[in-house]
Amino acid sequence: MLAARPSRAQQPNKVRRIGFLIHSDAARPGLLRVEKAIKESLARAGYREGDNLIIERRYAEGNLERLPALADELVRLRVELIMTTFNETTIAAQRATRTIPIVMTTGSFPVENGFIQSHARPGGNITGLDSWPAATLSEKFFQLLKMALPDAKVVANLWGDTSPGGSRHFGTDFGRRMAEQVGLSIISVQVTPTRSVTQALDHIAALRPDVLAVQSSPATSPHFREIAAFAAKHKLVSIATSDLYVQQGGLLSYSPEAMLYDRIGSYVDRILHGANPADMPVEQPTKFALVLNNKTARAIGVSFQPSFLNRVDRFVE
């Protein structure tokens, strides 16, 4: 009689070593949420840090120029795969290795950025999650904006992603077409190494837009509280592509309901069992949530029509 084979969740005693290349510092609220979800996902797949798993974390602490050196360090450690956050970290990891598997925990425009050939068949050493499906996000985003403010004409788009596709897609031709369909025009203002968030916001104040759209990226997310305070000071309706913005005082957010972090454990497990990233489809979220901060709405004196409020999935006080 043959002995029963152990289930995949029952991992052998071998300790696996993986890397995690991170754009921010360890204490960043958004990262804490991501790390908790990924740790739980890995545990469900049978991997527990300190037991049968070592995670080599490398933090850029907001200095994206450090990412190439940190990626090279993970390669020298011969980790079995590298998890990444945001496009910038994936770019650094891809430049450091074309052989070690790379798993995106968040990302956008992976085809346009040259990470993968297609979502169905990535074709290289990168797979994982495309957190911001451009078509779905852009179209619905502007439709909701117009529903919230029917008289709005001009949207200031605050972005900071330095990758070729990245979060600037609201300001691309595609994003502009989506906005124009509902009678909105976009002015994009980028945060760069030579233009801080504060300077970008000062520029936006001079533009006097009707709406501020904030796109989550390594350059903007650490400053959500400052951006929310700016919008409140100027009585400006603002909406971000991360619900963390609302939690830190922002008015509105429209983002994936779940960022699929619970799928990361499956990607890691399959790769450690020999799966080829080239054949592992990149997944995208299909459900999105509109979140409204009632306290901020009262503070800036804005009220919305019932038709818009009926679309809100979650209210925050």
What CATH number does residue 268 fall under? 3.40.50.2300
Range of the domain at 228: 134-257+288-316
| Same domain for 142 and 96 | no
Q: Which residues contact 45 (CB under 8 A, 6 or more apart)?
A: 8, 9, 265, 266, 268, 269
| Same domain for 138 and 61 | no
CA 79 to chain CA centroid, nearest Å: 24
Say how many residues make up the chain: 317
Of the listed ranges 216-220, 230-234, 245-249, the least confidently predicted one is 216-220
pTM of the entire structure? 0.78
Q: How sure is the predictor about 29, in pLDDT bands with cuts at 50, 70 and 90?
A: low
Task: Tell me if 9 is assigned to some domain.
Answer: no
| Distance in angstroms (rounded) separating the CA atoms of residues 59 and 185 | 37
| Same domain for 264 and 193 | no
Main-chain phi, psi angles of 126, to 5 degrees? -120, 135
Helix 134-148 to helix 173-180 angle (10° resolution) is: 30
Q: How sure is the predictor about 146, in pLDDT bands with cuts at 50, 70 and 90?
A: very high
* Residue in 213, 241, 7 with CA at minimum distance from that of residue 137: 241
Helix (H) or strand (E) holding 156: strand 154-159
- Residue whose structure tokens are 């679309």: 311
Q: What residues form DSSP beta bridges with 187?
A: 156
pLDDT at 91: 94
Q: How sure is the predictor about 6, in pLDDT bands with cuts at 50, 70 and 90?
A: very low
